[in-house]
Amino acid sequence: MDVIPLVHASLGERELAAVKEVFASDWPAGQGPRGKALERELAEHFGVADAVALSSCAAALHLSLLALGAGPGDEVIVADFTFPAPAHAVRYVDAVPVFADVRADTGTIAPQAVADLVTPRTVGIIAVDTVGLPADYAELQEIADRHGLFLIEDAACAVGATYRGRPAGTLASVACLSFHGRKGITSGEGGALLTTDPALGGTVRLRSSFGIGSIADQAKVIGLPIPEFAEIGFNYKLSDIGAAILQVQLGRLGALLERRNAVAARYHELLKDEELITLPHVPADRTHAWQSYMVTLEPGVDRAAVAADLRAQGIGCGHGTWASHLQPAYKTDQTCPVSADLFRRSLAIPMHAELTPGQVERVAEALRAALRAHAGPER
């Protein structure tokens, strides 16, 4: 049976060759020559003042909150329908995550929900480009400016997407990227922080390396430089091995995104008349990076049974993403009814750049059959 995985990283010989070059060098660890080159390439690609290569998007979120001054007693409004890394990061700095509900059609953070949650304790907003679709940044920035709040773009899933002609990763003064294995470009794990403020970038870079800066740079100094720990930092560096892979992947971004777009378009053609699901909605003023292709099942469809049928045929699938406020770690009395409903009814089907047309057709056919089999007695 031909197994069709939910996700698959597009890594090959060019990435292997880049890794071999690092193995032959004097510096496989973080903040070496490949890491510095990647940061320059990211800054140039996105047109930002600075880019800091990091171990994960979660690290970027944590460091961005520290650099922006969030701390104990502060409230940070976070998108609810997402992997809960933004809320985790808020907790890392002993601040309080306040969950904002999302748009029913896009799953992205709803600006009116954000506006309704602002209090005197609110210091910022973390918007999420949900599974690759940018949020409503014009409205969110207006709210942030009106109340003197910072705005962070969690673009973990959205490298390659656009909003009103601008690339995801540049839609707020601070943006956080992920290069996890299921993203559009990947080094297995990894992340980056992009910013319009070079001073903030410098602060983040220092804190990502225990507060002592680049050992690779200091090793070039004649004599015996002894690093000084300027502040308490973290080990959030991206290795030069990961950086070398990402340099290749960044160069392939356009081609990989084109293939994901083709898969999404074919799913739409094959499933557009299916009454038991709602397909992803992409507003006219933005484009999707298609980290995931997530459909919403009609009420009454047994999602677990549909998933079991697909998996029995070797077709990967998943629940989509989380309603963060429902997770036991947060123990909140907040309600986000739209997010909770999407959490119950969303289903992710295979989406990656290596899918063949035949595999896409097989997924669509199997999904239709599973939906019919588990639609409930009223159907």
CATH of the domain at 267: 3.90.1150.10
Q: Tell me the pTM.
A: 0.96
Supply the CATH number for residue 137's domain. Answer: 3.40.640.10
Q: What is the set of active-site residues?
A: 183
Give the integer Cα–Cα distance in Å for 71 and 74.
6
Sheet holding 162-163, edge to edge: 166-167, 162-163, 286-287
Span 83-107, mean pLDDT?
A: 98
Residues 192, 259 within the same domain: no
Let me know if residue 362 belongs to a domain.
Answer: yes
Residues 265, 239 within the same domain: no
DSSP 150-203: EEEEE-TT-TT-EETTEETTSSSSEEEEE--TTSSS-SSS-EEEEES-HHHHHH
**Domain encompassing residue 338:** 253-373
Let me know if residue 2 belongs to a domain.
Answer: no
CB 176 within 8 A of CB 156: yes
Let me know if residue 6 belongs to a domain.
Answer: no
Residues 312, 211 within the same domain: no
In this prediction, residue 45 carries a pLDDT of 98
In this prediction, residue 222 carries a pLDDT of 77
Among the three residues 188, 220, 251, which one is the final residue of a domain in this structure? 251
Span 102-118, mean pLDDT?
A: 98
Give residue 86's pLDDT band: very low, low, confident or very high (50, 70, 90). very high
In this prediction, residue 18 carries a pLDDT of 98
In this prediction, residue 379 carries a pLDDT of 56
Give residue 378's pLDDT band: very low, low, confident or very high (50, 70, 90). low
What tens digit of pLDDT does each residue of 2-33 get?
999 999 999 999 999 999 999 999 889 888 99
Residues 130, 277 within the same domain: no
In this prediction, residue 319 carries a pLDDT of 97
In this prediction, residue 173 carries a pLDDT of 98
Residues 105, 237 within the same domain: yes
Task: Show Cβ contacts of residue 206 under 8 Å, excluding neighbours closer than 6 positions.
Answer: 212, 213, 230, 231, 233
Decide if pLDDT at 344 tops 70: yes
Decide if pLDDT at 213 tops 80: no
Let me know if residue 379 belongs to a domain.
Answer: no
What tens digit of pLDDT does each residue of 351-362 get?
999 999 999 999
Residues 183, 262 within the same domain: no
